[in-house]
Structure 1
Amino acid sequence: MCGRFIDANLRGSDSELSHIKIDPFERRFNIKPTEDVLILAKQSLEPMIARWWLIPSWHKGGLKDFKLTTFNARIEDAREKPTFRAAWHHGRCLIPAGGYYEWTGERSQKQPHFISSAGNEETLWFAGLASRWQELLTCTILTRSANETVNDVHTRMPVILNAEERDAWLGGSDDLTMGAGALLRHHPVRPFGISDHGPDLIEPED
């Protein structure tokens, strides 16, 4: 699962998207579901802003009437679920991140961990699905079983795509093994609250 993440640093000179003019927000280090996030849609990598909590186009009630938890979707079954089925076929996107958080331990003493790239590329490219409900663009992050680089922290992880997988995902591939080879590292960080913000959130805990 992925319930908090940080913005990618897409303004750096080493970004493969340095040619795209995007400066949507000050870099954030505690992004929460229902907040706006940057997505890159279509094979042309068109930058868009979407609300992180997918609402299917067929939802008839108001925004607050939608009760399903849809900020994540399991890649294993998203293709078949009515909530995600249309987006699987017509709403694929990438969601760039600089890392994400997971928690371990008992409910009253949860220990947060910051998880980031251990490979050559700093940005993590999450596989996402986007759905337009009324005039609102919404999205979800796909998850898969955790690989050996993070399974000591959590049993699930985002579907993190390499360059070849990104092209395949946006091109409509149904390969459910995508993201299995993502190289990640993690370290414990100090506990933080819902409103906390800043780069100190990802610093290793003393």
Structure 2
Amino acid sequence: MCGRFIDPDIRGTEIDFDQLKLDPWSRRYNIKPTNDVLTIDAEGNGAMARWWLIPTWHKGDLRDWKATTFNARIEEAASKPTFRGAWRYGRCLIPAGGYYEWTGPKGAKQPHFICSAGNEETLWFAGLISVWQDLRTCTIMTRASIPAVSDIHTRMPVILNSEERETWIMGGSDAGFGATAALRHYPVAPLRSAEDGPELIEAL
């Protein structure tokens, strides 16, 4: 799964990046579900979206949506009513600088920071977008963990390589996406919900 991640290192300054122009903003190191995150659609347009997908057909208020939908299993999303519409029409990429995962017993959980072990620092998560009552929402796809992180958790985000990114965003449905991700991990100090800053990803 993926329940916390950090912004990619493309935010501290104004740059052109794959036809996307980003205005200056502070990089975040403790992004949580329901926070706004950067998404990039099939046309290369960047927009913020609430990280907790709400399907277009939801009739209640925002607070009435109780399902846990900040992650979606790539093996199941196409057939799940919650994700089916976004799977067909809402593909996106969600760039990240890394993510956190925890090991150990309840009450003594050890956080680990997982990041790129390759030449490209940014991790590109496969995502889905759903626009509900003019609110842009999204989810991060997950898959079975690859060997590099399987000792930390059985699930991981779907992290796309350069070839997979285009295929995914144009509608590809290969459950094997993300198998070639180059990752490394290390333990970090326990982090509280309100904490932020680069010190959160410093190795113990």
Report the 3-state secondary structure (helix = DSSP H, G, I; strand = E; otherwise coil) of the residue aligned with 2:98. Answer: strand
Report the counterpart of residue 27 of structure 2 in structure 1. Answer: 27
| Partners of 2:12 and 2:24 within 8 A in 1 | no
- Note closer, same or farther for the CA distance 1:24–1:177 as it changes in structure 2 (3 Å cut): farther
| Distance in 2 (alpha carbons) for counterparts of 1:114 and 1:64 | 31
Q: Mapping of 1:101-116 within 5 angstroms?
A: 101-116=100-115
- Secondary structure of 1:107's counterpart equals coil
One-letter amino acid matched to 1:154: H
Normalising by structure 1, report the TM-score. Answer: 0.95
Equivalence map 1:79-94=2 (5 Å): 79-94=78-93
Q: What TM-score do the two structures reach when normalised by structure 2?
A: 0.96
SS of aligned partner of 2:180: coil
Amino acid at match of 1:34: T
| Correspondence for 1:172 | 171
1:171 CA displacement: 1.1
Aligned to 2:124: 125
Q: Distance in 1 between matches of 2:40 and 2:187?
A: 30
Q: How large is the RMSD of aligned CA atoms in angstroms? A: 1.5
1:161 aligns with 2:160: yes
Secondary structure of 1:84's counterpart equals: helix
Please report how far the alpha carbon of residue 181 of structure 1 lies from its aligned counterpart in structure 2 after TM superposition: 1.0
Segments of 4+ moved more than 4 angstroms? none
Q: Structure 1: state its 5+ residue gaps.
A: none
Equivalent position amino acid for 2:20 in 1: I
Aligned to 1:148: 147
Amino acid aligned to 2:198 = P
Alignment-mate amino acid for residue 40 of structure 1: I
